[in-house]
Amino acid sequence: MISIGVLASGRGTNLGAIIKAIEKGKIAGKVSIVISDNRNAFALKRAKQHNIETQYIDFKVFKSREDCDKKIIEYLKEKGVELVVLAGYMRILSPYFIETYKNKIMNIHPAFLPSFPGLHAQRQAIERGVKFSGCTVHFVDEEIDSGPIILQKKVRVKDNDTEESLAERILKVEHQIYPRAIQLFCRGRLIIKEGKVFIK
Ligand code: GRF
């Protein structure tokens, strides 16, 4: 059983999908802890509903991002976390964090990377007029939304889509591919070579 630590800032629907997949036996791992920088994140409630340990981390009490990340790492280490899953976590990780969990941090982005990194990816897709967008699960490196790509799935953009309607359809697909990517990791099937992920 791989011990998974989830970092989330918001509603945590991806966290919900991951928990569900674990409960159905589709992931050979367990969520040991959910950490949030937002005291009121619904993600924390979700975790508690499933008897998962939670921690709130108050950024304001730390001198630097690294100090704060060190605290988070302490929580993760206590739970023997081997995979860190970012699920709507709105803070940038320090290089120290990324180095500590090198190739062991995953993120999901609501666009078909490398198109539309950063915030408001769905709005960027609508504004650019692409016919397809989608979502991407990738490992996290020092740059934003740029690490080795694990899984991607396309979503068609309709003529009458709004940012919200597109986001909603992409989210459904996120809930399919994030648990799948995590399972591949837990099964030891992800090999990273020269910045690319190969699935064994
Ligand atoms: C998702 O759209 C994800 O792609 C992005 O943040 C959002 C998190 O949603 N990284 P939720 O909190 O999992 O519902």
Going by the DSSP 8-state scheme, the letter that residue 104 receives in this structure is: -
**Residue of 153, 160, 165, 150 lying closest to 199 (CA atoms):** 150
pLDDT of residue 55: 98
Q: What is the pLDDT of residues 30-39, one digit of tens each?
A: 999 999 999 9
Cα of 12 from ligand 1 centre, angstroms: 7
Which ligand 1 atom is nearest residue 10's CA? 12
Cα of 10 from ligand 1 centre, angstroms: 8
**Residue of 126, 124, 151, 122 lying closest to 136 (CA atoms):** 151
The pairing of beta strand 2-7 with beta strand 29-36: parallel
Q: What is the pLDDT of residues 97-138, one digit of tens each?
A: 999 999 999 999 999 999 999 999 999 999 999 999 999 999
Tell me the C-alpha distance between 64 and 110, whole Å: 29
> Which of helix, strand or coil describes residue 98?
helix
16 lines ligand 1 (CB under 6 A): no
Going by the DSSP 8-state scheme, the letter that residue 36 receives in this structure is: E
